Amino acid sequence: MQPDKQNASLRITALVSVGKHPGSGRARRAEQDARAVEMAMTLAPEGLEVLHAGDPQADSLRAYAGMGLKRLRVLQQGTNADAVPALSQYLKQQKPDIILTGVRAESGESSGMTPYLLGEALGLPVVTRIAEIVSIDHGEANLLQALPRGQRRALRVPLPFVASVDMAAAAPRQSAFGPASRADLESQDIGMAVMDEVKAAWSEAPARKRPKRLKVVKAKTAADRFKAATAKSSGDGGKVLRDKPASEMAQAVFDLLLEEGVLR
């Protein structure tokens, strides 16, 4: 086990990508990545590094810097290059304690594979969709994971690890123009660019509207179709309990709730 880490000596790398506004399609800071940066900034303002692999000229990178970053590191790459080999090579040397990413990018393939591929390449555990890093003690982190339906799950993971940040995490601070233009953009050519050749064979088009599934009535006769179209709430009916003491009926309800696992 690692020695105790104060947050002061904690080193966090937040990976950021170029986002895309869902309505206008304009480049912006990606929502989830900005949350990852916010989480890293509150947890370890000193040991924070924000990392991007791609074009250092991209305007939207300045939007991250505008959150008050001193520095932003860019691993220079062409736009069709695969980001993962470059990132994993760099992170292997740096060995940060925590690597934060978004769940899914807003542009490109947006498959959400980056954290898992990095985890596999670096041999680190991967935690999905975290909402908060609660505390770090004895070389382990206590996390809250966002579940569907507003639920949270507590997890404990040894450092170092990779985590993807959910939209349920604290909203990122505003990005301001002044700090954005003052921040250093350190671009470095790491001398490797693995072209993504599989992707070259794909064709991409604006999303088509998906056909909605219709409720198909597979009735053989006109009478059956008529019945299906006019049927009121079908009285296939569940169990009905009546004329019993209230305690017995409440027990039946309670048992069903227990069986469904909604009681805690």
Partner 1 sequence: MSEDIIRRDPRAEWIARNRLHPLHQTMQASPAETRGPSGLIRRNPHAVGFIGPNGIKRIDRMNASGPATVGGRRAAGAAKEVELPLHRVENPDYYIAVVPDMVGGRLNGHDKDVIGQAHKLIGEIGGNGAVLTIVFGEHREEAFDKAGVDRLLHLQGDEYEGYSPELRVAALAQVEKEYAPRYWLLPDSVAAGFELGCRLAARIGERPATQAWQVGAEQTICRGAGGTSDITRQTPRLLLLAEECADQIDETRHEVLPVELVGTVAGHASIRDCGQVAVDPNAIPLAEAEFILSAGNGVSDWAQFHQAAEALGATEGASRVAVDDGNMPRFRQVGATGTWVTARVYVAVGISGAIQHMQGIGQCDKVIAINTDVGCDMVKRAALSVIGDSSEVLAELIRLAKAHRQEVVENAA
Which 226-255 residues touch partner 1, going by CB under 8 A?
232-235, 237-244, 246-247, 249-254
Per-residue contact string for residues 21-50; x = within reach of partner 1 by CB under 8 A: -x--x-------------------------
Cα separations in angstroms, 85 against 36, 93, 165, 255: 21, 13, 21, 53
Scanning 54-62, 85-93, 187-195, 200-208 for contacts with partner 1 by CB under 8 A, the matching segment is: 200-208
Residue 184 CB, shortest distance to partner 1, in Å, is: 29
171, 39 contact by CB (below 8 A): no
124, 161 contact by CB (below 8 A): yes
Residues 93-132 that bind partner 1 (CB under 8 A): 104-113, 115-117, 119-120, 125-129
Residue closer to partner 1 by CB (options 8, 149) is 149
Residue closer to partner 1 by CB (options 8, 214) is 214
* Residue 145 lies near partner 1 (rule: CB under 8 A): yes
64, 175 contact by CB (below 8 A): yes
66, 180 contact by CB (below 8 A): yes
Instruction: Take residue 44 and report the two structure tokens written for it.
Output: 């370890």
Cα first-last separation, the chain: 34
Scanning 51-59, 73-81, 185-193, 207-215 for contacts with partner 1 by CB under 8 A, the matching segment is: 207-215
